[in-house]
Amino acid sequence: MNPALRLQRALQVWVALGVFGFLLLPWYFLQQTSLLEAMPGIWQGAETASALIQALQHGRSWLWSGLAGLLVCGAAVWVPCSARQQGRALLLGSLLGLLGLLISGFAIGATGWAVESLNTLWGALPNGQYGMGWGAALVLLSLVVLLGAALARLGGFRGDVFVAAAVVSCSALLALFVVYPVMRSLVAAWVDDAGMYAWPHLLQRVATERVWGLACLSGQSRCGVAWNTLWLALITAFGTTVMGTLLALWAERGGTRLHKPLNVLAMLPIITPPFVVGLGLILLFGRAGLFNQALEWAFGIEPGRWFYGVFGIWLAQMFAFTPIAFMIMRGVVQGVSPSLEEAAQTLRASRMQTFWTVTLPLLKPGLANAFLVGFIESMADFGNPIILGGQYAVLSTEIFFAIVGAALDPGMAAALALVLTGFALAIFFVQRRVLAGSSFTTVSGKGDAGVAMALPQGVLRVCRSIAGPWLVFTVVVYLFAFAGGFVQTWGRDFTFTLVHFKTAFDVQAGEFGWVFAGTAWKSLFTTLTLSAMAAPICTGVGLLIAWLLARAEFQGKAVFEFSALLTFAIPGTVLGVSYILAFNVPPVELTGTGLVIVLCFVFRNLPVGVRAGTAAFKQLDRSLDEASQMLRASTLTTLRKVVLPLLKPAVVAALVYSFVRSMTTVSAVIFLVTAQYELATTYIIGRVGNGDYGVALAYCTVLMVLMSTITWGIQKLVGERQLGRRPSSPSGT
């Protein structure tokens, strides 16, 4: 088919989809009614009617702007005209529809005008409106794609309609589900109970002794939560960087067979819920832990709560985040060129001198990266502080209690989120600046026949004496976390039992067949379903954004990339608060639904897909794309038939990682769950809050086995994929 005709057909399809959404789909979102149940009411009910009926019969005339924009776009794609004329008409129609629907959506709420000044200026409205639903989503998507086509037809994006539509669509998604919620939550810090904006409200909430107090320096009281958070992040980042570096040096240069055990260690924080280590440490050092019981038995020391506080959180975060530092440092250690070390030794430098003057300086970019990643991870952590914090408060837990505590104060939560976001973004920018221009490439085009220098004996002894006991301690903690679900009552009755697993995952034979009678089944099925929905969306959008960043050139590319990676720097607690504040009212009213959890999963883990795709695209030469386009294949065809088959390992890896992270996340969704949509991690936290550690640990064990099985299966699948020539047949044909 002629490319011009094919483009014309595609644009006509998008206009038709938009008109279909306007005429034949429910316009507003119905939380308690599915799409199929609402379809019979599109011609009548005020809640289920399509936009056409809403505008004709229910007084919502502002919706006509959407149809007007689609009709203008329809005239542009059905009436023969030049590319520039078509671009102008598409631009006019798409902007007319988008601006009309978006402005009216934000200006008109459930009871009328959302802003009092508009009520004074235009008078009261007879009807308000609910959050936008399936019909509105399809119309807006069509108009966004047509806007991208308009920009391409007018000469933007080198005239490539697919690239233009992809950039505009991804930008719209990032603006709606990343930038808008974060800005909405940060702006809420200035709002008082009456809805008024003023600087004093922010100062009253943030500039308090509770947040910035330094009384702990004089021994009178505790420090503010901001200083607590910074101190904890500092010591955690330092500890994880040192321990991860020692493990990496020992594994890569110590002449030992630690690769497989350390690979398992590196995967543990990914496949386990974030508070499993905290629960294991409680079994060791809590009031009923073995350590306290041993002290009481040997020395008569009464068990106390000494472990709960900054030391307990720090130790749990060390276990949780050291594997991340190890993975970073292992790649950097592997990338140190042996020829540089051999050159130093040729000049009669000892192994110790070579290590301090050559090897260690080459590790500086990795050390900075590991430190800053550990810093951000510590500030974003919620599970360990909520379990082990005791009286030691940090910003993530304070935000949580400001939302769900007795003193419900969303404004205070937003103010604390502003402080935490400021810290995280500052560290994020420092990280990017420190690592600017640094390369972690371990395979180059030049050969390097050198042999990596073995560690000096002194350094090797340090690695063994520090990292060795740490590995043993890690295994012990995970074994205790695993064993805790198999004993009757930890600390009092160590009788082997499966009652905790039965409580959570009991299956009984009923009158009408098998019944999932365990209390945890619902949360497990819900988590599996929502994670399975989020993973392919996250992977698809992430790889598309990575392709645009790697292959397309357009204005605002730096802002586009920053928005795509913003959720890496935004702590999960802040993102959860942002979604509550942004999507609790029209025009996007999703609070209390499973869809808002899926969207949170998608955009929380989006940097995973972007980074996986970026790494994969660096291995693909542009000549592959160019060869396909020289054969007159469109950009979409090239992406589908040439690029995607070469990205299968990256696609599978991003899918699994997104799925597993969605299964085990807690901080981002702790505010979004409801009784209908309870997740595995929130179920476990609820059990811990009730002191029911046995059921919580039994559930953690099931999750660990489930995630390990999925990860192992995907790793085997990915490991079998190779790029290369087929071996010659024995006959030589």
> Rounded distance, CA 501 to CA 604, Å?
31
The per-residue pLDDT for range 425-459, each reduced to its tens digit, is 887 777 667 656 544 443 344 445 567 788 888 98
Q: How far is CA 163 from CA 302, 377, 461, in A?
A: 68, 34, 55
**pLDDT tier at 243 (50, 70, 90 boundaries)?**
very high
CA-wise closest residue to 185 among 603, 602, 582? 582
| 335, two tokens | 């990338």
* % the chain with pLDDT above 70: 90
Q: Residue 357 carries which DSSP code?
A: I
Helix H or strand E encompassing 515: strand 513-516
Q: What is the pLDDT of residue 407?
A: 65
The DSSP annotation for 433-481 comes to HHTTT-------SS-----PPPPPHHHHHHHHHHHHHHHHHHHHHHHHH
Q: What is the pLDDT of residue 523?
A: 94
| 559, two tokens | 């802002």
pTM assigned to the model: 0.84
Contact (Cβ atoms closer than 8 angstroms) between residue 668 and residue 576: yes
**pLDDT tier at 26 (50, 70, 90 boundaries)?**
very high
Contact (Cβ atoms closer than 8 angstroms) between residue 184 and residue 191: no
Single-letter amino acid code for the residue at 683? Y
CA–centroid distance for 458 within its chain: 41
**pLDDT tier at 193 (50, 70, 90 boundaries)?**
low
**Is there a cis peptide before residue 269, judged by omega within 30 degrees of 0?**
no
Q: What is the pLDDT of residue 194?
A: 63
CA dihedral 89, 90, 96, 98 (to 10 degrees): 180
Backbone angle region of 126, left / alpha / beta, with phi > 0 → left and psi within -120 to 50 → alpha: alpha
Q: What is the pLDDT of residue 1?
A: 58
Range from 232-241, 422-431, 473-482 that averages highest in pLDDT: 232-241
Q: What is the mean pLDDT of residues 27-35?
A: 82
**Pairing, β 493-496 against β 487-489:** antiparallel
| Residues 6+ positions from 301 with CB-CB distance below 8 Å | 292, 295
Which of the pair, 319 or 138, is modelled with greater confidence? Answer: 138
The per-residue pLDDT for range 158-189, each reduced to its tens digit, is 888 999 999 999 999 999 999 999 888 888 88
What domains can you pick out in the chain, each with its CATH number?
A: 3-154 (no CATH), 211-442+453-480 (1.10.3720.10), 521-719 (1.10.3720.10)
**pLDDT tier at 514 (50, 70, 90 boundaries)?**
confident
**pLDDT tier at 486 (50, 70, 90 boundaries)?**
very high
Does the pLDDT of residue 713 top 50, yes or no?
A: yes
Q: What is the C-alpha radius of gyration for the chain, rounded to an integer number of angstroms?
A: 29
Q: What is the pLDDT of residue 443?
A: 39
The per-residue pLDDT for range 545-574, each reduced to its tens digit, is 988 988 888 888 888 988 887 887 777 888
| Long-range Cβ pairs for the range 302-307 (8 Å, 24+) | 305/390, 307/281, 307/282, 307/388
* Total Cβ atoms within 10 A of residue 366: 25
Q: What is the mean pLDDT of residues 287-300?
A: 83
Phi and psi at residue 57, to the nearest 5°? -110, -20
Q: What is the pLDDT of residue 189?
A: 83
Find the largest Cα–Cα distance for the chain.
93
Q: What is the mean pLDDT of residues 688-692?
A: 85
